[in-house]
Chain A
Amino acid sequence: MWPNFSHIYIEEGAEKYPLTDVILSKFSNTFCVTVHHYKDIFNRPQQNFQSQKRSMKLILAVKKDNLVYDGSEFSQSMGHDNFYYNSMILNCVYNCDYCYLQGMYGSANIVIFVNIGDFFSAVVEKLQKPMYLAISYDTDLLAFENVIPLCAQWIEFTRAQPNLTIEIRTKSANFKSIKSLEPCDRTILAWTMSPDEVVEKYEKGTPPLRRRLEAAKEAIDEGWKVRVCFDPVIRIDHWKEYYSQCVQTVFEKLEAVKLYDVSSGVFRMNADYLRKIRKQRQDSDVLYYPYVFDKNAASYPETIKNEMNLFIQNLLLQYLPSTKVFI
């Protein structure tokens, strides 16, 4: 479900980009406010992330530097050497309790960078050798596709760049928004799958497992490469039972041989982000598990982490060869 933004803040200079017109045409009863720089509103001090989540605003801006980042240590590179990610959208329409964005940004408002051509140019500069680019990490790009067709533009761009492979990670069920496109064999559509117990308790606003599976199946049937991600795996009560059921449901709906690959990872987060989130909210037990804070990361203690990884790995190896399983 797409929120009806009451306000759209437009950075000076962003109004001349075609994507701005596309977005504004989708919202008629909206107050438009000009801002000198998007950070004047996005980076204000003392903002309340969860209060803003209840009434998210849209900020349209032009990103001038850092258009491509080196892959994060918290992300899986899936065996790719040249792993990068970018962020054309900051923040997400969903509100997962365990989401690191709450600690990464001061604001829950959504920033969309409208200068997509500059993002393309930045990627082209790095394409002397094969590049793996995650374009939907700090957001859920496919969930936005009805408002701003960024996935479609990235897919068409990728099709024309033989050295480029992109991953579009999502929890949405919005495959229909790109269904009309020809499948691109260097585009991986990656669906995060969680047991419904986790979806209902911690992944607020996201589609249930059944709808994500329907979308993934439709994508496979249309000829797309589909990755399934069990990430983050959360140690809730009866987690073994719930994740066993979830994995079984996934492979009942999706033919294992038709999946590109499967990845899994237990909950982990930048330690400073988790500390910051804990200061802001005391309403979700997933944030208060006695995680181990090790250097920069907070996660389960090593023995528990190993137990969880091994359990999920064994579940997955019942359906897939080890070459297709990334833990």
Chain B
Amino acid sequence: MIRGKEGFVLNKKPIGIVTALHAEASPLIDYFNLKKDIAFTKFEIFSNNRISLIVSGIGKIKSAVATTYFLGQVDPVCVINFGICGTPKPDYKIGDPVVVNKITDVSGRREFFPDMIVKHHLREAHVTTFDTPVTMDMAVELNLDLVDMEASGFFQSASVFLQPDKIAVLKIVSDYLELERVTREFVTELVQTKLSEIDNFIQRFSAVQFENSGVFTEEENLLLGELSSRLRLTTAQNHLLREWATAYKITSKKEIAFLNEFLHAKIQNKNERLLVFKRIRAKLGVA
């Protein structure tokens, strides 16, 4: 269900963004001119006709819950977890945008991999998700790249709804594990300075998303649904009808409007239904 204030064009799903903090989200809300959608009460969701953004709260559980809610309600074509992260490595600069190619959940000792299908010019790294803030000593000892508190929860939830080529994680390095300097104002300013790179990545990511629009037109989908309903087809017969119609359209490259004639077939019993079903099958070229 798509419920953005400005609404989304049918079959043109939005790009989803999940952030943990309002401080991370607010520069994006201003930049993309997103409006708060008051239809959603459990989480704050901001949308325009191209992008929909949810603020999850801090931590992987909150991120997972918000992502599940978001993908169930908004149904975006793809989703990006965007937010700040820390690093123990001085070769990263504060403000570096980094695309994540591997996520490790430190408590579950599990690894997750988004499909890296976007060509980009940003740095890539491995992020490790912790349940609590990490000390420099611990991060150095474990030889970590980036650390955060959301990515693994986000990814596990997103994977339930979307293919791995439709999930991305984009982080901005905010600190060398010195939490005291990560204030709300600092985070917002940091994101503001990188908006063009963030926008560029979002555009590239959305450009490689291919929606399977299906083989049937909207009218044909309605026709098949109507046929199934009027002929009172069983689930198995309905499945076969769609399979035959798909094969017919792809191999003949013709419309299936001729099936309209079966909408008014008179059916009194199971045998008559079977006869009509066989005629449909023959019309669709199935031996």
Q: Which residues of A contact B (CB under 8 A)?
A: 6-7, 9, 31, 33-36, 40-41, 44-48, 51-52, 54-55, 57, 278, 282-285, 287-290, 301
How many chain B residues sit at the interface, stated as a range, is: 20 to 34
* Nearest residue, chain A, Cβ from B126: A33
Interface residue? B159 (CB, 8 A): yes
Contact yes or no, A290 B124, CB < 8 A? no
Contact yes or no, A282 B215, CB < 8 A? yes
Q: List 8 A-B contacts (CB under 8 A).
A: A33-B126, A40-B113, A46-B162, A278-B246, A282-B212, A285-B251, A288-B250, A301-B287
Q: How far is the CB of B3 from chain A (nearest CB, A)?
A: 25
Given the interface pairs A33-B102, A57-B116, the reply to whether A48 lies near B215 with Cβ below 8 Å is no
Give A31 to B250 CA distance when docked, in angstroms: 39
Selected from B101, B117, B214, B243, the residue in CB contact (under 8 A) with A54 is B117
Selected from A6, A34, A47, A290, the residue in CB contact (under 8 A) with B165 is A47
Identify which of residues 141-164 in chain B touch chain A, using a CB-to-CB cut-off of 8 Å: 159, 162-164
Q: How far is the CB of B136 from chain A (nearest CB, A)?
A: 23
What is the 8 Å Cβ interface bit string for chain B, positions 212-229, against chain A (1 contact, 0 not)? 101100000000000000
* Nearest residue, chain B, Cβ from A282: B215
Give A40 to B102 CA distance when docked, in angstroms: 11
Q: How far is the CB of A4 from chain B (nearest CB, A)?
A: 10
Give A51 to B285 CA distance when docked, in angstroms: 31
Give A138 to B197 CA distance when docked, in angstroms: 41
* Nearest residue, chain A, Cβ from B247: A288
Selected from B111, B115, B119, the residue in CB contact (under 8 A) with A51 is B115
Given the interface pairs A282-B246, A282-B250, A290-B247, the reply to whether A7 lies near B116 with Cβ below 8 Å is yes
Cβ–Cβ < 8 Å partners of A282 in chain B: 212, 214-215, 246, 250
Given the interface pairs A46-B159, A47-B164, the reply to whether A289 lies near B251 with Cβ below 8 Å is yes
Selected from B124, B243, B286, the residue in CB contact (under 8 A) with A31 is B124
Cβ–Cβ < 8 Å partners of A33 in chain B: 101-102, 113, 126
Contact yes or no, A52 B117, CB < 8 A? yes
* Nearest residue, chain A, Cβ from B119: A6
Contact yes or no, B159 A45, CB < 8 A? yes
* Nearest residue, chain B, Cβ from A6: B116
Give A57 to B114 CA distance when docked, in angstroms: 12
Contact yes or no, A40 B111, CB < 8 A? yes
Contact yes or no, A46 B164, CB < 8 A? yes
Contact yes or no, A288 B119, CB < 8 A? no
Give A305 to B88 CA distance when docked, in angstroms: 65
Interface residue? B258 (CB, 8 A): no
Cβ–Cβ < 8 Å partners of A36 in chain B: 111
Cβ–Cβ < 8 Å partners of B124 in chain A: 31
Cβ–Cβ < 8 Å partners of B164 in chain A: 44, 46-47
Contact yes or no, B116 A288, CB < 8 A? no
Identify which of residues 55-91 in chain B touch chain A, using a CB-to-CB cut-off of 8 Å: none
Given the interface pairs A6-B116, A6-B119, the reply to whether A51 lies near B247 with Cβ below 8 Å is no
Given the interface pairs A285-B250, A288-B247, the reply to whether A51 lies near B126 with Cβ below 8 Å is no
